[in-house]
Amino acid sequence: MASGTIEDVDGAADTAATESVLRADDVAVHFGGVKAVDGVSIELTPGRIFGVLGPNGSGKSTLLAALTRLVPLTRGSLEFEGRRYDTVRPHTIAARGVARTFQTVRILPGRTVFDNVALGAESAGSAGKAERGRARQRARTAIERTGLAGKERHRPDELSYGYQRRVEIARAIASEPTLLLLDEPTAGMNRQERDDITGLLGDLRGEGLTQLLIEHDVQMMVDACDHLFAMNFGELIADGEPEAVVRHPAVQEAYLGKQGRAHA
Amino acid sequence: MIDWYFSHIVLVQSTLTTLLLALSVQVPLRAGVFSFAGVGCYGIGGYIAAIGMVHYGLSTATAILLSAVVGGVVAYALGLLIQRLTGLYLAMATVAFTLIISVLVVNGGDLTGGAAGLFGALGMLDTGHLLAVAVVVVAALTFTEIGPLGRRVEAVREDPELASAMGINVARYRRATFAVSGVLGGLAGSMTVLLRSTVTPDDINFHLVVLALTIIIVGGSRSWLGALVGTVIFVWMPEVLAFVGEWEDVVYGVLVAAAAVYLPGGVTGAAVAGYRTYRRKRREAADAPPDGPPPQPVAAGVGGDS
Ligand SMILES: Nc1ncnc2c1ncn2[C@@H]1O[C@H](COP(=O)(O)OP(=O)(O)OP(=O)(O)O)[C@@H](O)[C@H]1O
Ligand SMILES: [Mg+2]
């Protein structure tokens, strides 16, 4: 599905590079009569940023919920690093290295920034002393990288919305995942903050982290992503090079014509 | 002091056993599991200890240990059975479990002594033993309230879906709280009976559920300290309120209602919140430049730290 071959990856990693990190085949999620996701097939290859565009209600978040096993599949199959996982429980796939953020901020209200990020850092970990030390270090690194340094002791209600979103992102990257799924990570952020976050995602890609990013800002998606999926009414309507996907007539019609929520 | 202790020994001891009972309900609640199975296990523990002593001549320690183990196993099995239930339905099912226990012991024939219960189960227990058990329990529970485990338990309570997306096996945590509450209930019930030497079906009733719940609501549901504060309040209140005489129940009711309305986190929750506000004020005072403009919420975060 991912068009084009990947030649700019170090030669030795040739076989690894052609393997997919995640493969979803004919995935459908129906809520009663609502076909939130209906027959979506995607493949994510290592070290790239994939984007999902689509108007409100087109099924983007539901697709992410399906990929993280938070909603049951009506149909289809899921594969992570070559292993089927469409029947495992969500914590299992999370522990295998799939981290995510949520469209709405979901952080523990009574806990500090550090505690919230540590929760992500510790998710994979055992209880050993050495591992606990490493987890703290991962949390500190994630806090630094998301621009939260100096706010470790703050509680969520002391943070602006943009900073709360950063906590979501920090918590996800603190687990040092293999695949990072981001549901509108920069919603409610100003231009500068968005640039900070997309810069961070670019850095993470540089380190080989595969990402699936949902955002409404088309220009930002074209700039940030290596590959775009466009959805409408639960189906994939286009898939490929960002510029080509954005120019695709079906996408123009479904998304750009309406302007959706493309504020800012 | 010594005189005071001997004239209040019953209250001191029942503070410690009631604390364990309250903890048996608080532990699951802290993980978001609305279960009163601990109260049923209090009954199971009480009867196992009495039966063990009266019919089988078990030693005090063995009787207590057996009660704790059986309480834990039964509660865990119950947890497996009703693991699909949450919220009010789970609460109802566990209350029903408690009531079933009280019905079973009425119909237990010679083994349970029927409606009259069992007599002569006096254990070799003193306040020191109770205190030792309470200290060990509190130390173990502290471990579940702090550090990584404390964070995970809180995530399971606050947002189970988020917790599972963080790799936490939510179902396993829920089942574990059943087992722990069963052990604590078993300990509380067996020690209560071995101190009193008798147990009757009337000892296991809905009032225990109400007592445990009010202790936690008034004291605080987030930490063992809340259970302790609540327990001290409710065990000692009749003593303290002796002077109001027949108005005691009214005062009691008003206090519980006031706590539920005005102290959502209980006494300890309010204390923690107050302390945090104080710390935050101090930090803000320290951070603010001497005559700088006040922080502007809209501009907060512009540019960021990165
Ligand atoms: N739990 C649910 N139960 C019933 N319907 C749901 C549920 N979750 C989502 N839906 C419906 O599924 C459709 C897709 O929703 P989804 O949240 O996936 O869209 P989205 O593309 O993420 O939209 P947005 O851009 O607004 O976030 C919508 O019609 C929504 O109302
Ligand atoms: Mg969405």
Domain boundaries, chain B: 2-278
| pLDDT score recorded for residue A10 | 42
Average pLDDT for B278-283: 80
Cβ of B155 and A124 within 8 Å?
no
Tokens of A203: 């850095």
Q: Are residues A144 and A242 in the same domain?
A: no
Contact call for residues B184 and B137 (beta carbons, < 8 A): yes
Is pLDDT at B62 greater than 90 in this prediction?
yes
Q: Are residues A254 and A197 in the same domain?
A: yes
| pLDDT score recorded for residue B290 | 54
Question: With contacts defined as CB-CB under 8 Å, which chain B residues touch A145?
Answer: 306
Residue A215 lies in a domain: yes
Q: Are residues A151 and A71 in the same domain?
A: no
Is pLDDT at B289 greater than 70 in this prediction?
no
Quick one: pLDDT band at residue A18, thresholds 50, 70, 90? Answer: low
Q: Are residues A186 and A254 in the same domain?
A: yes
> Long-range contacts: A136-141, Cβ < 8 Å, 24+?
A138/A174, A138/A175, A138/A176, A139/A114, A139/A170, A139/A174, A141/A174
CA-nearest of B33, B142, B15 to B91 is: B33
Residue A16 lies in a domain: no
Whole-number percent of chain B with pLDDT over 70: 93
Is pLDDT at A256 greater than 80 in this prediction?
no
What ligand is nearest to the CA atom of residue A32?
A: 1
Average pLDDT for B254-279: 84
Residue B195 CA to residue B208 CA, distance in Å, equals 18
What ligand is nearest to the CA atom of residue A101?
A: 2
- Give which of A88, A104, A119 to mutate to test B binding, by max B Cβ within 10 Å: A119
| pLDDT score recorded for residue A129 | 79
Higher pLDDT among residues A16 and B268, named by residue: B268
Quick one: pLDDT band at residue B303, thresholds 50, 70, 90? Answer: very low
Average pLDDT for A55-78: 96
Please choose from A31, A74, A100 the residue to mutate so as to test ligand 1's pocket, defined by most ligand atoms within 8 A of CB: A31
Residue A24 lies in a domain: no
Q: Are residues A183 and A245 in the same domain?
A: yes
Q: Beta strands of chain B (E only): which ranges?
A: none
Residue A22 lies in a domain: no
Residue B64 CA to residue B191 CA, distance in Å, equals 7
Burial readout A147-171 (b: 16 or more C-beta within 10 A, e: otherwise): bbeebbebbbebbbebbbbbbbbbb
| pLDDT score recorded for residue B283 | 74
Is pLDDT at A30 greater than 80 in this prediction?
yes
Residue A49 CA to residue A211 CA, distance in Å, equals 5
Distance of CA A56 from the midpoint of ligand 2 (Å): 7
Question: With contacts defined as CB-CB under 8 Å, which chain A residues touch B154?
Answer: 108, 110-111
| pLDDT score recorded for residue A16 | 46
Average pLDDT for A78-91: 94
Least confident of A9-13, A98-102, B150-154: A9-13
Q: Are residues A41 and A146 in the same domain?
A: no
Quick one: pLDDT band at residue B86, thresholds 50, 70, 90? Answer: confident
In chain A, the number of structural domains is 2
Q: Are residues A162 and A195 in the same domain?
A: no
* Chain segment A213-240, per-residue pLDDT in tens: 999 999 999 999 999 999 999 999 999 9
Q: Are residues A187 and A169 in the same domain?
A: no
Cβ of A108 and B164 within 8 Å?
no
**Distance, CA of A51 to chain centre:** 9
Which top CATH class is B2-278? mainly alpha
Q: Are residues A40 and A164 in the same domain?
A: no
DSSP string, chain A: ---S---SS-GGGHHHHHS-SEEEEEEEEEETTEEEEEEEEEEE-TT-EEEEE--TTSSHHHHHHHHTTSS--SEEEEEETTEE-TTS-HHHHHHTTEEE--SS----TTS-HHHHHHHHHTTT--S-HHHHHHHHHHHHHHHHHTT-TT-TT--GGGS-HHHHHHHHHHHHHHT--SEEEEESTTTT--HHHHHHHHHHHHHHHHTT-EEEEE-S-HHHHHHH-SEEEEEETTEEEEEESHHHHHH-HHHIIIIITT-TT---
* Chain segment A128-172, per-residue pLDDT in tens: 778 888 899 999 999 999 999 999 999 998 999 999 999 999 999
The domain in which residue A79 lies consists of 1-11+29-97+178-264
Is pLDDT at A48 greater than 80 in this prediction?
yes
Residue A120 lies in a domain: yes
Last residue of a domain, one of A126, A157, A176: A176
Q: Are residues A3 and A72 in the same domain?
A: yes
Find tokens 């227990």 and name the residue: B125
Q: Are residues A125 and A169 in the same domain?
A: yes
Residue A64 CA to residue A98 CA, distance in Å, equals 11
Least confident of A123-127, B17-21, B91-95, B246-250: A123-127
| pLDDT score recorded for residue B287 | 67
Residue B16 CA to residue B224 CA, distance in Å, equals 12
What's the predicted TM-score (pTM) here?
Answer: 0.86
| pLDDT score recorded for residue A125 | 56
- B202 vs A: CB within 8 A: no
- Give which of B84, B152, B166 to mutate to test A binding, by max A Cβ within 10 Å: B166
φ, ψ dihedrals at B282, nearest 5°: -65, -40
Quick one: pLDDT band at residue B304, thresholds 50, 70, 90? Answer: very low
Q: Are residues A89 and A185 in the same domain?
A: yes
Provide the residue count of chain A.
264
Distance of CA A89 from the midpoint of ligand 1 (Å): 21
* Chain segment A85-144, per-residue pLDDT in tens: 999 999 999 999 999 999 999 999 989 999 999 999 987 556 677 888 889 999 999 999
Query: Which residue CA neighbors atom 25 of ligand 1 most closely?
Result: A56
Least confident of B119-128, B256-265, B296-305: B296-305
Which whole-number Å values give the CA distances from A140 to A82, A149, B149, B247, B258, in the listed order?
A: 32, 8, 19, 57, 42
Among the partner-chain residues B148, B158, B280, the one whose CB lies closest to the CB of A108 is B158
Higher pLDDT among residues B303 and A18, named by residue: A18
Average pLDDT for A45-64: 95
Whole-number percent of chain A with pLDDT over 90: 77
Q: Which residue in chain B is spatially nearest to A124 when comparing CA positions?
A: B167
Last residue of a domain, one of A176, A209, A236: A176
Quick one: pLDDT band at residue B87, thresholds 50, 70, 90? Answer: confident
Average pLDDT for B41-59: 95
Quick one: pLDDT band at residue A17, thresholds 50, 70, 90? Answer: very low
Quick one: pLDDT band at residue A3, thresholds 50, 70, 90? Answer: very low
CATH number of the domain encompassing residue A245: 3.40.50.300
- Which residues, chain by chain, have CB under 5 Å from ion ligand 2? A 60-61, 103
